[in-house]
Amino acid sequence: MKQYLEKLINQENLTTEEIQGLMTSCINGGVSESEIASFLTALRVKGETPEEIAGMVEVIRSHSTFNGTRITNVMDNCGTGGDQSNSFNISTTAAFVIAGAGIPVAKHGNRSISSKTGSADVLEHLGVSLSFAKEHVEEMLTENNIAFLFAPHVHAGLKPFSKVRKDLGLPTVFNLIGPLTNPVQLDTQLLGVYRRDMLPMLAEALKKLGRRRALVVNGAGYMDEASLAGENHLVLLEEGNVTSFTLHPEEVGLPVVPNEKIQGGSAADNAEITQQVLRGIPGPYLDTVLLNAGLGLYANGAAGTIRESVELARESIQSGAALERLENLVSYSRKLIGEVVS
């Protein structure tokens, strides 16, 4: 560990083999909490490379018992967090809209780390289980187009990092790699990031991880979601090529709304917002989800343009398909709880 820390402190990048060896030692318990904290801090100060990101992700995924779950054309739309916007759970709500449009979504998420309410917090409040087994995930992806993978449950080997991250209370490399560590082999992905300068690097990391197609977004106001507040910055990975562009909500028929209008609150507050959106209640929350679900569908290649993808998202909500995906996931969770009790 000492030699790795010295390299990072000296602003030297770690090789893929070095970062993989370091991560393996951390997961296997051969590194102290103080060393892990030093590693995470030094790496953040130096700045991560695509090779370091991909190397860490590959080790984390290889240690998950859920690794190898495979459903054709599956995607995720998880954001990095860390933008301090206190927005409602945008990507979690959008995931049901994407699933309602017919695209399987392996929704990977956690409890709150640097925000008020994480995806796991709001889904748990809605009645979704946080302890699906691998076979449950496969069944839900096949029958319902969406399943939830609670990060601590599917990545038990990352426990050595959990307390350190909580104690630090600051965004670390895990805020960047969390959405990449989904143990399901993703074909496509929408990735929101709170740092605009990280867009090209994360697109290159996604390329190294084998994504067929992906979209990385930093929203107006530096949100880790697409925002209605103004110009959004995006990078598209398609057929191995990386292209940068910007998108204003008015370009896809959506209004301009300040980020303050989409703030959330407790798990109960955000659960209510999610249900309102999936019921099609008009307002900034709905429009924000339409934009982000549209980008998710575009990232998947479900439609040729973002405007067309936004309309697919609108149809998913208006038809009731998006809400049905949530209701089915809750019903399935209750069924599993009943089986355990009996």
71 is in an annotated binding site: no
Given a cut of 50, whether residue 254 has pLDDT beyond it is yes
Is residue 2 assigned to a domain? no
Task: Band the pLDDT of 117: cuts 50, 70, 90.
Answer: confident
Q: Determine what percent of the chain is predicted with pLDDT higher than 70.
A: 97
Is residue 47 assigned to a domain? no
Is residue 276 assigned to a domain? yes
92 is in an annotated binding site: yes
114 is in an annotated binding site: yes
292 is in an annotated binding site: no
**Per the structure block, which two tokens stand in for 278?**
């999936």
DSSP string, 205-271: HHHHTT-SEEEEEEBTTTBSS--TTS-EEEEEEETTEEEEEEE-GGGGT-----GGGGB--SHHHHH
82 is in an annotated binding site: yes
Task: Band the pLDDT of 314: cuts 50, 70, 90.
Answer: very high
Is residue 293 assigned to a domain? yes
Give the lowest-confidence range in 111-115, 131-135, 201-205, 284-288. Answer: 111-115
Average pLDDT over residues 271-281: 98
Average pLDDT over residues 171-196: 91
Distances (CA, A) of 291 to 85, 203, 241, 262: 17, 20, 24, 13
Domain of residue 199: give its range. 75-153+184-329
Tell me the pLDDT tens digit for each residue of 125-158. Answer: 999 999 999 999 999 999 999 999 999 899 988 8
89 is in an annotated binding site: yes
Task: Band the pLDDT of 341: cuts 50, 70, 90.
Answer: very low
Distance CA 111, CA 302 (A): 30
Is residue 88 assigned to a domain? yes
Domain count, the chain: 1
309 is in an annotated binding site: no
Is residue 166 assigned to a domain? no
Which CATH number belongs to the domain containing residue 305 in this structure?
A: 3.40.1030.10
pTM greater than 0.85 = yes
φ, ψ at 64 (rounded to 5°): -85, 135
Is residue 6 assigned to a domain? no
Is residue 318 assigned to a domain? yes
108's enclosing H/E stretch is strand 105-109
Average pLDDT over residues 209-235: 97
Average pLDDT of the residues of the chain: 93
115 is in an annotated binding site: yes
